[in-house]
Structure 1
């Protein structure tokens, strides 16, 4: 008597098992992706909310000091891991920027920053601090740039032919918005234009123009991109860029968040959309120099008109 061979389901079971594992891995990767993004969003929110709550009853550092320092720590982290990727031009550029900021800070007349962490008021010490922050943030941003990061810096890359067009692109976009900014300040602050020395306005405007763009548009954006790139892939460039942009925008309103939180949210959102997105796009498409020249002309117009 011949026994009929009953077909086994091993092949089918193997296929189902493989499909299940793929689905499980996909769900795990998505969970990791969402967790990392959520963590990166939660940390700034905790800083914003915690600082606002504490500032209502005690003296606290401004938001810029907190986020500048957080970015600096991130820059030190990437620098420690990948400093060997930097070129000689990278080091010269970063220290050159720091030296420029330190010297400008010593002689600034229209740019008057808050005391650093509410303790350091001495102009010379502030110059050293801002120079150091700028240098380290630039080095962190350059480390990311050397790993095909989201923002290019043409000067250390020795792409001299791109520097001029990049600066002009920033001015082209920035000049109209500089005028809008002056009008908005005149209306919101209720004061007349008070003309200031042009030389002082143009030189002092380099301080926020260079420092803030290097810290937020170069280093912070790059570090956030590194943290999100593996999980978000192609989306990481714009997600990290928007996060850095709106952190920078909301950081302008330390006092307003305490006095009128909803107004602070509205102002931060407006600043981010009108004056934050243009340098974001300029930095991505034309390089860091374009974002710096945009920021510089906006602040130069503000200082020139007495705001």
Structure 2
């Protein structure tokens, strides 16, 4: 395991990147996210032995957005197994934006390229078991509660409603996949589950805890209890490497070199096997949809501790 990082080091690195808070823009296509404060910055590292160090706005919650795709994939794999999941979603990275419909039209068979783009994530969420929307959302919430060790985890109702009301592109993707039999369930019900999934709120420490479970091969760091089968945890981390940072995943792998997944709330989840989970949060995004401050902070952490897996 790489050397542990002290709170003082982490705080110094956070101070170093603060001048970047005014670069980029907050996601405005989801109205409820527009009110985020770009000065709210946070970073947390949860080690595989259970220790945690955090700095910044550590008590503030934010929505996971696309970071949730990693965890919903783990649950779908646990619900159905690898063969079924990947009969409906591919394993290949893409150079297209995360919201693109183009490959669905040109690929044969017509299935999403991977679970980290919106089309793939919608197909994955459609696989989550449950007799209705409430049961499926509750299963997702309970999975997150189990992984973080916090029974209070819930979704932000305002953000979920805002996303649902403006989900025109995701509706288009879903109806296209309904036509090609990738999606089996009712599209409006799927969108309700998906929007609530993306609106699940966490603190920065809860975010890094999710990464620590993945880094510990799917086991709870303090107890060693298996929460995600090791093989499925490995699959999730592999997708984080190849597809986790939207269509900037390749450059991120070269410059930072750690498995990571970003969300348009400004959250980024990192996970390094044998080391732990890293959570960063900074609402202003670059043109690819990744946190400006978060990227710089992760590069600093990776460089200083030689965390690159390559």
- TM-score by structure 1 length? 0.32
Greater helix percent: which structure?
Answer: 1
Structure exhibiting the larger radius of gyration computed from Cα positions: 1
